[in-house]
Homo-oligomer: A and B are copies of this chain.
Amino acid sequence: MHINEQLQAAELRVELGDRSYPIWIGSKLVERLGELCLSKQLSTKSPMMIITDTHVEALHLSTAKQSLEAAGYRVAVHVVPAGESSKSLSHLEACITTALEAGLDRKSAVVALGGGVVGDLAGFVAASYMRGVRFIQVPTTILAHDSSVGGKVAVNHPLAKNIIGAFYQPEMVVYDTSTLLTLPLREVRAGLAEMLKHGLIWDQRFADWCLEHADELLSLREEVLQYGLYAGCAVKAQVVSKDEREQDLRAILNLGHTIGHALEAVGQYGELLHGEAISIGMIGSAMLAERLGEAADILPYTRRMIEAFGLPTQIPASYDTEDIMSAMMHDKKFSEGEMVFVVPTAIGKVEIRRDVPVALVREIVDELKGGARG
């Protein structure tokens, strides 16, 4: 973990040529947001806008705003309701109304203060306002260690999630681990699921480390959390650096997501958290690996990992197999008759398989429901 002494925080870089940017990870960084913005040469002449939600507003908005104002910035604020429904074009329009009324210009910055929903919405505001202004991610959930890195921003359409958006990289990601200390346990577990995924797709040593430090991560020991987020973001950053626009490699980040997205859809996005759904999906992928003759330790290892974090390994019995299959068929990752799946080939290694028989997937979904074997 590289520590920047001057800023007293861990520093990681996402390498994307002239769009490269730093990720800062440390305690109480929201208090120093103004200083960090000055260090990125963000002009104090142009007003800024913080976008946050009703939940985070109560916890961290005044700290963030005061820090920016102390550094000399004029700050407008736009608060959206907490929850997925704020990722809509009508909320986008409302954010832009606030930006116009506050006089944001081409040199202004939009700050996302919140979890994945706020980051995705604010990112698309930053990408589209005046055809693009500067963008700063201040994630306040564990899950957002994934979504705040990589530049995928979007809002939802009534017929499809994340379908209206852009690839738009932030200027910096400011990750204040002290904002994570108030998260409810179920959200902590679900957020850590993406961290486990980063180990499973890319880095066996990191996967082993996660397994060894499960209890400390779950009890939010801040320095352990900082290392985990650092290593998780590092995997994401490397993958994104090699394939910013999801032409090929970036698809490996979808481990567990084909089944996971289908489960979220069938539960109408209200039953399973994203991290819970992809945990079940990762078990499914490991079962697939076993059937396809990959290394024998993948399935038991994955199961041990998911269980260590108290995440679910089975599909709720009430979910209909055909509903799940049909939700998967509508997934963007499905193409022309055979299914595309991210399949583990070892611990810390996956490949994209485009030849997975639909019948085999159906079998695995059935087993994930009944727990017959696997």
Which residues of A line the B interface, CB within 8 A? 45, 89-90, 92-93, 96-97, 100-101, 105-106, 127-132, 152, 154, 157-160, 163-167, 245, 332, 335-336
Question: Are A89 and B93 CB-contacts (below 8 A) given A127-B166, A131-B167, A166-B132?
Answer: yes
Contacts of A166 in B (CB 8 A): 127-128, 131-132, 166
A122 to chain B, nearest CB (A): 14
26 intermolecular pairs with C-beta atoms under 8 Å apart: A92-B164, A93-B157, A93-B164, A96-B157, A97-B157, A97-B158, A97-B159, A100-B160, A100-B163, A105-B332, A106-B332, A127-B166, A128-B128, A128-B164, A128-B166, A129-B163, A129-B164, A130-B163, A130-B332, A131-B165, A131-B166, A131-B167, A131-B245, A132-B167, A132-B245, A166-B166
**What are the 4 closest A-B residue pairs judged by CB atoms, nearest first?**
A131-B165, A128-B164, A100-B159, A89-B89
Contact residues of A: prevailing secondary structure: mixed
Copies, count: 2
Contacts of A157 in B (CB 8 A): 93, 96-97, 100
A330 to chain B, nearest CB (A): 10
**Closest chain B residue, CB of each to CB of A127:** B166
A132 to chain B, nearest CB (A): 7
- Cα A106 to Cα B331 in complex, Å, equals 12
A131 to chain B, nearest CB (A): 5
Contacts of A129 in B (CB 8 A): 163-164
Contacts of A152 in B (CB 8 A): 131
